[in-house]
Chains A and B, each alone.
Chain A
Amino acid sequence: MRLCAVEDVPEGGCLRVEAGPAGVVVVRVGERVFALKDRCTHAGARLSEGWIDAADCTLECPEHGGRFSLATGEALAFPANRPVATFDVEVRDGEVFARLP
């Protein structure tokens, strides 16, 4: 499904899209676009309100600092230890599409 336009997402930032049961956070780092489930696996906070480290391609949960890989969703820092779901993304004509389950 279409999530948003690439230009809707600030460079080095993210956008929450109302899709799926928890929403999707779309992140843009340079030419790369990532889509993850917008819910921290620790306590359910919205990752779209978190902090993106563009150099490391990671996203930190706003509330308690759990850290996730943008590419794989792997948990990289406590209190998170379970991965967050990631979605395959395709960019066509400046539009972001993702395969949601």
Chain B
Amino acid sequence: MRSDDFRARRFEILAALREQAPVFWHEELRAFLVTRYDDVLTVLSDDDLFVPLHPDVENPSPGNFNNLYGEEHRALRGRVAPEFFVGTLRRNLEPQLPEIVGGVIDGFADRGEVELVSSYARVLPSTVMRRLLGARLPEDPSLARFEEGMEVLVELHCDPGHPELASRSEDVLPDVQSFTAQLLAREQDTPGGGILTRLHECPVDARPLTEQEILGLGAILAFTLIDTTGRLIASAVHALLAHPEQAAALRDDPALLAPAIEEALRWQPPIQFKIRHARVDTELQGVPIPRGAKVYPFIGAANRDPRVYDAPDTFDVARFREVKSQKPHLSFGWGPHFCIGAFLSKLEAQYAVRTLFERLPGLRLVGPPPRYVGFEHWGPESLPMAFDPVTVGVPS
């Protein structure tokens, strides 16, 4: 599953599993792979049957509410959820987005070429997250080392027996820990504060969060919202450039922007699967799943289930023009764990894609077709691009 073959032929292999073995025990990963839409939906959303951690295991990372379920999950998530409410983001963040996005494009617009993943797709979400957290998150290379380190830890969590990951995780742990420690230090110098400051303020009738929980929350928010949104922006731009007729349809009808981002999410979900564990003995598609067994609801497979979507392998920006006739993609999960940053991520991607195409005429991919990389997290490794250079920053 971690092989180059699975990387290159991922959707083909998932399609074969979905048809022939929709609940498939993978010996090497020691997990059931679940690939049909309805089953993935059940595993993602039914906390009575499937929970994030093994039912006998304590949450090893305090503050990471992703690992919790039930009332404990609801309470911790609830402390930070209002920060990501639509009204909060529309009011406080959206007015800043044109300046943030424009500023990043200004940095390379006169050059005529750019590697989009490192110079744009990853930069925007980290800039946004700095403002939201109210922390001057350390810049690259410290931020990049933190993200790489988190990715190794996530992968090890998906595949705990993997010897190379286990040894790499020991190397990266100091990078992750030192970054996380800086979150708090930086926060204290930021006037006005942000999410991290507000997490220190305890609402009436609630218990104060421990410093460890606040740092854990900060780290998981920083990692998930930067990394996944970066991958979404990259794969959305790639999908449009690889399908010029779709890019043209979007240019002709700006109302297709939001549907196009939804389709990009369906087409190449930045998180390919989640990890769940059976809370009780259960079964799916007649396959018995014992209590404690690890289950991967494979979002990347569910999103292309032909039982749910017509021509599922086709990228079609108009597919979700009307959502009432469509089932939602599962790229943000479903149920109590539905991605807390879903709206934030879509808002950023909408501004990122629209502004890029507006500002850079003649934008095109150069070089060989991009490689999609990653295991759980997934997106183009790099996107070298050319465009007609634009003069910037000449005051009138």
A80 at the interface (CB under 8 A from B): yes
Given A64-B332, A78-B329, list of 15 further CB < 8 A pairs? A43-B335, A49-B87, A50-B87, A51-B87, A60-B90, A62-B86, A63-B85, A63-B86, A77-B258, A77-B323, A78-B328, A79-B332, A79-B334, A79-B338, A83-B324
Chain B residues near A (Cβ < 8 Å): 81, 85-87, 90, 258, 262, 320, 323-324, 326-329, 332, 334-335, 338, 342-343, 346
The reply to whether A81 and B85 contact each other, CB–CB distance below 8 Å, is: no
User: B residues within 8 A CB of A63?
Assistant: 81, 85-86
Count class of interface residues, chain A: 20 to 34
Chain A CB within 10 A, most for which of B81, B85, B90, B326: B85
Please give me the residue from chain A that is nearest to B259 by CB atom.
A77
Known: A49-B85, A51-B87, A63-B85. A74 touches B324 (CB 8 A): yes
User: A residues within 8 A CB of B342?
Assistant: 64-65, 79
Query: CB < 8 Å: which of A61, A64, A81 contacts B324?
Result: A81
User: A residues within 8 A CB of B81?
Assistant: 63
Please give me the residue from chain A that is nearest to B87 by CB atom.
A51
Distance, CA A77 to CA B335, complexed state (A): 17
User: A residues within 8 A CB of B90?
Assistant: 51, 60
Chain A min CB distance to B49 (Å)? 18
Q: What are 26 sample pairs from A and B whose C-beta atoms fall under 8 A apart?
A: A43-B335, A43-B338, A49-B85, A51-B90, A60-B86, A60-B90, A61-B86, A62-B85, A63-B85, A63-B86, A64-B86, A64-B338, A64-B343, A65-B86, A65-B342, A76-B323, A77-B258, A77-B323, A78-B323, A78-B329, A79-B328, A79-B332, A80-B323, A81-B324, A81-B326, A83-B324
Summarize A's interface: helix, strand, loop or mixed. loop
Distance, CA A61 to CA B335, complexed state (A): 15
Distance, CA A71 to CA B258, complexed state (A): 21
The reply to whether A75 and B86 contact each other, CB–CB distance below 8 Å, is: no
Distance, CA A50 to CA B87, complexed state (A): 6
User: B residues within 8 A CB of A49?
Assistant: 85, 87
The reply to whether B324 and A51 contact each other, CB–CB distance below 8 Å, is: no
The reply to whether B86 and A50 contact each other, CB–CB distance below 8 Å, is: yes
Please give me the residue from chain A that is nearest to B327 by CB atom.
A81
Chain B min CB distance to A50 (Å)? 6
The reply to whether A51 and B328 contact each other, CB–CB distance below 8 Å, is: no
Query: CB < 8 Å: which of B324, B335, B346 contacts A65?
Result: B346
The reply to whether A51 and B338 contact each other, CB–CB distance below 8 Å, is: no
